[in-house]
């Protein structure tokens, strides 16, 4: 994971494979975080997982989106997702930028 994200992952953080990402370089993990199996992090807009965060299996954090206007839909934009300290995200939940 350190090679994928380009940062040292604290030894207290646990990420259960399989783990899917489109970049990885735009994801940051805090201390003592847990990411269960089958999660997808599309991190172009940036994802920050705080300390002591629990993320259930099959959670999808999607920072990319498309414009609502049909003529602009081919353009992709990213917005960050920041998960604060001690948050718990239940199994299978999707998150998208506003």
- What pTM does this model have? 0.93
Note the pLDDT of residue 92.
Answer: 97
Q: Which domains does the chain have, with CATH numbers?
A: 2-91 (2.160.10.10)
pLDDT digits (tens, 9 = 90+) for 43-88: 999 999 999 999 999 999 999 988 889 999 898 889 999 999 999 9
Nearest Cα to Cα of residue 87 among 58, 54, 61, 60? 54
d(CA 44, CA 52): 23
Residues assigned a catalytic role: 66
% of the chain beyond a pLDDT of 70: 99
């Amino acid at each position: 994971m350190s090679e994928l994200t380009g940062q040292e992952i604290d030894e207290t953080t646990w990420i259960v494979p399989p783990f899917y990402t489109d970049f990885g370089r735009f994801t940051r993990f805090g201390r003592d975080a847990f990411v269960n199996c089958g999660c997808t992090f599309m991190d172009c807009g940036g994802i920050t997982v705080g300390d002591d965060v629990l993320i259930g299996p099959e959670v999808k954090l999607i920072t990319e989106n498309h414009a609502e206007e049909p003529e602009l839909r081919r353009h992709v934009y990213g917005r960050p997702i920041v998960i604060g300290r001690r948050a718990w995200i239940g199994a299978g939940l999707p998150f998208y930028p506003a």
